[in-house]
Amino acid sequence: MKKRMRKKLFLNEYKSLGFELIIEVKKGTENDKIIDLLDDFIDFLDERDLSINARDNELNSAMLITSSLKYGSASNENINACESWLKNKEIVKQIKIGNLIDSWYDKSTLTL
């Protein structure tokens, strides 16, 4: 396959890696606190050139964290940073973080 096609399809050297994340908050947590957590987490991700892609509006479903750069990738360092940041939040009951996956082609496998 030609380089131009690999680039358009995000294949081989243009592959973009990301990781799945599920955040479970403690029962009874007020919506305002959940919104504040998400706002702060998005700011945390922005500082690292990462973005969050959620399938729906619930925290208890898998979200994909990817690079916000066109041909960038998330790293194991990003996984560790997100895990450390979330573990220090009072309203977080549990987090699950998956391994690095191809953010364009791999299927979701993480469940709570």
Asked whether the predicted pLDDT for residue 112 surpasses 70, the reply is: no
Tokens 């699950």 sit on residue = 96
pLDDT in tens, 63-86: 899 999 988 999 999 999 999 999
pLDDT in tens, 14-30: 788 999 999 999 999 99
Asked whether the predicted pLDDT for residue 36 surpasses 90, the reply is: yes
Q: What's the gap between Cα 111 and its chain centre?
A: 14
Give residue 56's pLDDT band: very low, low, confident or very high (50, 70, 90).
Answer: low
Residue 37 structure tokens: 């957590």
Full set of structural domains in the chain with CATH: 20-102 (3.30.70)
Spatial neighbors of 61 by CB under 8 A, at least 6 apart, are: 22, 54, 55, 112
Q: Which residues pair with 53 in a beta bridge?
A: 64
